[in-house]
Amino acid sequence: MDSKTVVMNPKGGDVAEMSATPKPSVLGIQSDSAFNEAAKRLKGRDLCSIADLTVQEMAAIMELAHAVKEHPEDFRHALDAKQMVLIFEKASLRTRLTFETAINTSGGNAIFIDQTQSVLGERESLPDVARNLERWVNVIVLRTYAHDTVTEIAAVSRVPVINALSDLEHPCQALADFFTLEERFGSCEGLKFTYVGDGNNVCHSLMLTAALLGAHCTIATPKGYEPKLDIIHKAIELCEETGGSLQLMHDPVKAVTGADAVYTDVSISMGQEHEATKRAPIFRPYQVNEDLMAHAAPHAVFMHCLPAHRGEEVTDEVMDGEQSIIFDQAEGRLHAQKSLLLMLPGGAKRIPRNRGANGKKRTTLA
């Protein structure tokens, strides 16, 4: 059956429909050689966007994330003497602590640079910053406002650059979120995933990750707050490869109906505080509350990237309810980011020795 994709009219008209026939595709890592080939391609690479990854590379990162959670002892010295610098223009709790914990528990070291008082690139040019950092560290992690800051440093740097959040994307968050869904549901292929709220950076990365994993993704936003068209078109392209689907709409009830997972985020991101009064009435119908969750599947989970504005985009009853897996997501940041650190500056190899009790192959550093 054809997958049905709903996209915004590029000319600014009403919602238009596009139909995409998915190509036959077997998702996930099917062999040691497939994992090793994906790991080889990832070594030394940047992660500025989820779109930088192929289907097999995404599967390899996810497999390794599960391995590091299940058997952390196998990776305690995997990044011995590796140095990671974190340069953050925005405040952080989960991103900073999970990246630092990830490298510290793998034998490496984290260096933090607080850039919250000035924009990166003002004191000296971004290329000069990159050329200095590459002489001292093995990986650069950036949390910025402008996405161009990430891509400009990545274009110059000879060591991997990881986007830990920009105004365009939040790839590390999306990796952790779908890692958490894989833990809950076993696989994301065919999963009904719904995002309700602002078509922001988190939404962009969730769309692309869902597409790479073969999920059926529905996005419900107020009019005027849809995801960017280039992200939509890239997600459509990926859905055609994996058999996933993408639907965009403005009706939150229709979007949530039958969903396996319901996700929301703040409508006012850091740096947009001046928009709060204007946006409040627009986003009020998109609040995730018990009435909205009642339209999802009985087994559905609730997700939020945090921090949340309780009582605004989501109620306390949903945040603290039995369906909420928000703190599982927060934990997942550690495992997903450790996988990235092992893959990009390190390189990993799937080794069939030391099988677990369930017979699954163990993944360790090469």
Give CA–CA dist 229/261, Å, rounded: 24
As annotated, the active-site residues are 143, 170, 173, 265, 305, 333
The DSSP-derived string for 52-64 is G--HHHHHHHHHH
Question: Is 85 within 8 Å of 133 (Cβ atoms)?
Answer: yes
Return the structure tokens found at 132. Answer: 């200095």
Phi, psi for residue 348 in degrees, rounded to 5: -130, 155
Paired with 114 in beta bridges are 88
As a whole number of angstroms, the distance between CA 346 and CA 87 comes to 20
Contacts of 80 (CB under 8 A, 6+ apart): 107, 108
Q: How many CB atoms lie within 10 A of CB 105?
A: 17
Peptide bond into 307 cis (omega under 30): yes
Helices (H) and strands (E) in the chain, counts: 13, 13
Contact 142, 161 (CB under 8 A): yes
Q: Could you give the CA distance from residue 102 to residue 232 in angstroms, rounded to a whole number?
A: 32
CB 211 within 8 A of CB 238: yes
Structure tokens that stand for 307 in this block: 């921090």
Q: Tell me, what DSSP letter sits at residue 292?
A: H
- Pick left, alpha or beta for residue 157 (phi over 0 → left; psi -120 to 50 → alpha; otherwise beta): beta
Q: Which amino acid is at 75?
A: F
- Confirm if 286 and 252 have CB atoms less than 8 A apart: yes
Beta strands in the chain, from DSSP E residues, in sequence order: 3-8, 15-20, 83-88, 109-114, 139-143, 161-163, 192-196, 216-220, 245-249, 261-264, 301-304, 348-351, 362-365
